[in-house]
């Protein structure tokens, strides 16, 4: 297929960091490079499934419309290509395996070891014919890879394997045609066989590592039930617009972000938030596209279309993270490049040294081939990308969205974690912390029920807190009439022929209702229930600390991380929250621009600072911090200044992030140590430094060790857990 290259770039579907200006093969895995979408009309299979969704996440990008159903089931070229590559390696492996058995049976070396003589006239030519099929058919992926690597001036694993099998094949053919020596045909066949097996296993591991991310894409249903008056029509999910009303039947996936207008149900949001417990949803609650409805039927008003959905933003963030190169990955890539050069040079030197020591050509050739094969940097090239693919996908499922790989890896360096208060360490809403009766005529439950009856007509945060407490206690609310607001002071109504007010302390003072106020904290907001101009009771509310916050702070302290509270609230509130959680300090009554200064002050003291925030006012501080962590879902998820986004406003997720970042980095280092350490030990053995002690590695054994090294790296990446 002819391409008009121009400014078109091409990338590897499995190694997104490999980007070339021309088509070819990936130097790391040998897969075909696919075009990155410069035009708005192309969908790069490089992002197999994901790119389609990420393009929809940007309304300014004009994209041809494709059905979501087609998107999920037509076998996007990237995914189909990956599956095709696995099948190709599998097919080549089995064919080469079938040919390897007679090649080994006809090999003079194997017959000598077995003490048999199966030679006959023309057997050497049959051996050469079978080996030629193995070389050209089984070795074709490596030969093509060599051409592409040379063309792109990026020598790697394919170059090493291709050079090794070509040297072995040409030398062996020369032996059959009259050159004195012993052929390498059986070593050639087993080498190619093992390399194909290694690639087959590796490709399956890579596919498995990315499967978690594909599940995110598959969450979005292809169609939705659009309500038009009394009629319901089936429409494509991507055609939904803001303001549309859709029907969600029991057991169906939510087709778009929206607000429930009718119905209630329990929803499974585990794939999006990591919360396994079903969440109760009713009228007025927000829904996230991709979550799964329970047994209830819901009518939902669409808040924005699929291209702007929360899920689309998640997929875009994940995709960007998987494509971003961290310092660790760059180090691995550089090491792999150098290892290729070292392998070729070491192979040539090994050949020259053994010849100069008087060994025959066949022996020197064998050592050279073994050195080149065993030093293939495949494991090193995969050491970081496999961990990246795994960690990013797992993070997305657990509500940790990594926008910047370097920030995520650097989470292990955090010495100070600065928390925003409202909505992170606290619930971000007023909750009743205590209530009591101040009159013998009414008990405390009656006081709360009466207040809730009045407040249910108000949308004020205090009112919401009182009503929710009454619901929690399952109190029956009395009927009230003639509801009115008292501007700036509270509310009033009639109950059972009595005038009832829910008012602030200022109202009592203004009307000389002097009572001895009960002991309270400045962190609390107190309202009074007044019945017929007599104070009947009080209700104290506060921004309640999340139940997860104490454990989060404790775990952080146990890991040597200092914690500070940074809030715009008054000092008394900040002090109470900070002290109750055992934090190292607080910074209160700060404006948005002052938050940035506080972060700078900590950095000047040599601290590596992470900052959590949940809104626009936190953006300057998030940008200044060494690691910015945006907290909260919805529109906040797109906070451009943060390197990491937490879906839930749960402080324990911050802890999970840091611990998972440490675990991820540890896996990367383990893989790098294994991949490089393996070569440090294997190269001298392959070169024959222990020849005088009877230790020799054959080319086939070199291929086995190389493949095992790759598989070990892949398995180690798969063992990564949150």
Residue that is written with structure tokens 């309304």 in the block: 59
For residues 250 and 262, give the distance between their C-alpha atoms in angstroms, rounded to a whole number. Answer: 14
Per 3-state DSSP, the chain is made up of helix, strand and coil in percentages (nearest 5) of 50, 15, 30
Task: State the CB neighbour count (10 A cutoff) for residue 558.
Answer: 9
Query: Catalytic residue at 420?
Result: yes
Determine contact, residues 366/698, Cβ cutoff 8 Å.
yes
535 sits in which H/E element: strand 534-545
For residues 611 and 665, give the distance between their C-alpha atoms in angstroms, rounded to a whole number. Answer: 20
Between strands 644-646 and 627-631, the pairing is parallel
Between strands 298-302 and 258-262, the pairing is antiparallel
| Of 5, 27, 26, nearest in space to 336 by CA | 27
For residues 295 and 17, give the distance between their C-alpha atoms in angstroms, rounded to a whole number. Answer: 45
**β-bridge partners, 491:** 485, 502
SS3 649: coil
Query: 263-297 in b/e burial notation, b at 16+ Cβ within 10 A?
Result: bebebbbbbbbbeeeebebeeebebbbbbbbbebe
Determine contact, residues 184/699, Cβ cutoff 8 Å.
yes
Burial of 522 (0-12, 13-18, 19+ CB in 10 A): exposed
Beta sheet of 34-35, edge-to-edge order: 19-20, 10-11, 34-35
SS3 691: helix
**β-bridge partners, 41:** none
Between strands 10-11 and 245-248, the pairing is unpaired
Task: State the CB neighbour count (10 A cutoff) for residue 1.
Answer: 3
SS3 156: coil
* CA separation, residue 532 to residues 441, 489, 513 (Å): 12, 17, 12
CB neighbours of 16 closer than 8 A, spacing ≥ 6?
A: 46, 322, 323
Catalytic residue, candidates 420, 614, 636, 653: 420
Structure token digits, residue 57: 């996440």
For residues 287 and 290, give the distance between their C-alpha atoms in angstroms, rounded to a whole number. Answer: 9
For residues 154 and 30, give the distance between their C-alpha atoms in angstroms, rounded to a whole number. Answer: 12
CB neighbours of 578 closer than 8 A, spacing ≥ 6?
A: 565, 585, 586
Helices (runs of H) and strands (runs of E) counted in the chain: 23, 25
H-type alpha helices, 375-404: 378-397
SS3 258: strand
Active site residues: 420
């Amino acid at each position: 297929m002819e391409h008009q290259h121009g400014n078109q770039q091409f990338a590897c579907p499995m190694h997104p960091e490999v980007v070339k200006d021309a088509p070819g093969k990936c130097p790391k895995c040998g897969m075909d490079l696919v075009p990155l979408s410069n035009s708005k009309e192309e969908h790069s299979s490089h992002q197999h499934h994901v790119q389609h969704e990420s393009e929809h996440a940007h309304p300014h990008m004009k994209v041809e419309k494709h059905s979501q159903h087609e998107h999920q089931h037509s076998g996007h070229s990237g995914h189909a290509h990956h599956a095709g590559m696995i099948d190709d390696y599998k097919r080549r492996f089995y064919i080469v395996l079938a040919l390897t058995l007679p090649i080994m049976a006809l090999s003079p070396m194997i017959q000598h070891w077995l003490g048999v003589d199966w030679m006959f006239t023309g057997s050497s030519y049959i051996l050469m014919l079978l080996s030629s099929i193995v070389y050209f058919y089984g070795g074709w992926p490596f030969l093509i890879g060599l051409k592409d690597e040379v063309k792109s001036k990026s020598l790697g694993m394919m170059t090493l394997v291709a050079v090794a099998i070509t040297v072995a094949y040409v030398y062996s053919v020369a032996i059959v045609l009259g050159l004195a020596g012993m052929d390498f045909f059986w070593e050639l066949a087993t080498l190619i066989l093992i390399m194909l097996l290694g690639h087959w296993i590796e490709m399956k591991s890579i596919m498995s590592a990315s499967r978690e991310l594909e599940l995110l894409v598959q969450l979005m249903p292809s169609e939705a039930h659009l309500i038009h008056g009394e009629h319901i029509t089936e429409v494509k999910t991507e055609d939904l617009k803001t303001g549309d009303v859709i029907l969600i039947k029991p057991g169906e996936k939510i087709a778009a972000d929206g607000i429930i207008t009718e119905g209630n149900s329990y929803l499974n949001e585990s794939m999006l938030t990591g919360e396994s417990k079903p969440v109760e949803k009713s009228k007025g609650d927000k829904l996230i596209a991709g979550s799964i409805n329970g047994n209830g039927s819901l009518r939902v008003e669409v808040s924005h279309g699929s291209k702007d959905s929360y899920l689309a933003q998640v997929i875009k963030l994940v995709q960007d993270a998987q494509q971003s190169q961290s310092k660790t990955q760059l180090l691995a890539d550089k090491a792999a490049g150098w290892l290729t050069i070292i392998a070729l040079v070491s192979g040539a030197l090994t050949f020259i040294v053994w010849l100069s020591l008087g060994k025959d050509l066949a022996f020197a050739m064998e050592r050279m081939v073994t050195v080149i094969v065993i030093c293939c940097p495949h494991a090193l090239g995969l050491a970081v990308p496999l961990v990246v693919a795994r960690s990013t996908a797992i993070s997305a499922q657990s509500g940790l969205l990594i926008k910047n790989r370097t920030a995520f890896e650097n989470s292990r360096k955090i010495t100070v974690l600065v928390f925003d208060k409202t909505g992170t360490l606290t619930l971000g809403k007023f909750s009743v912390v205590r209530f009591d009766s101040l009159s013998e005529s009414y008990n405390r439950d009656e006081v709360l029920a009466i207040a809730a009856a009045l407040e249910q007509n108000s949308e004020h945060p205090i009112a919401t807190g009182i009503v929710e407490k009454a619901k929690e206690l399952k109190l029956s609310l009395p009927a009230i009439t003639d509801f009115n607001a008292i501007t700036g002071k509270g509310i009033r109504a009639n109950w059972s022929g009595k005038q009832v007010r829910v008012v602030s302390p200022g109202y009592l003072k203004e009307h000389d209702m002097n009572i001895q106020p009960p002991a309270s904290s400045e962190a609390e907001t107190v309202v009074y229930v007044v019945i017929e101009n007599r104070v009947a009771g009080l209700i104290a509310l506060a921004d309640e600390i999340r139940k997860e916050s104490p454990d989060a702070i404790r775990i952080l302290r146990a890991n040597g991380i200092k914690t500070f509270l940074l809030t715009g609230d008054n000092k008394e509130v900040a002090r109470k929250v900070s002290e109750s959680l055992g934090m190292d300090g607080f910074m209160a009554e700060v404006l948005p621009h002052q938050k940035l200064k506080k972060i700078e002050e900590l950095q000047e003291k040599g601290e590596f600072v992470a900052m959590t925030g949940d809104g626009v006012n936190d953006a300057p501080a998030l940008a200044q911090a060494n690691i910015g962590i945006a907290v909260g879902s919805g529109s906040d998820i797109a906070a451009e200044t943060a390197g990491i986004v937490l879906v839930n406003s749960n402080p324990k997720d911050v802890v999970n992030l840091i611990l998972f970042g440490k675990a991820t980095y540890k896996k990367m280092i383990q893989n790098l140590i294994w991949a490089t350490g393996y070569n440090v030990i294997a190269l001298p053995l392959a070169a024959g430094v222990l020849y005088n002690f009877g230790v020799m590695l054959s080319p086939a054994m070199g291929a086995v060790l190389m493949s095992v090294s790759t598989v070990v790296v892949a398995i180690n990446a798969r063992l990564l857990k949150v």
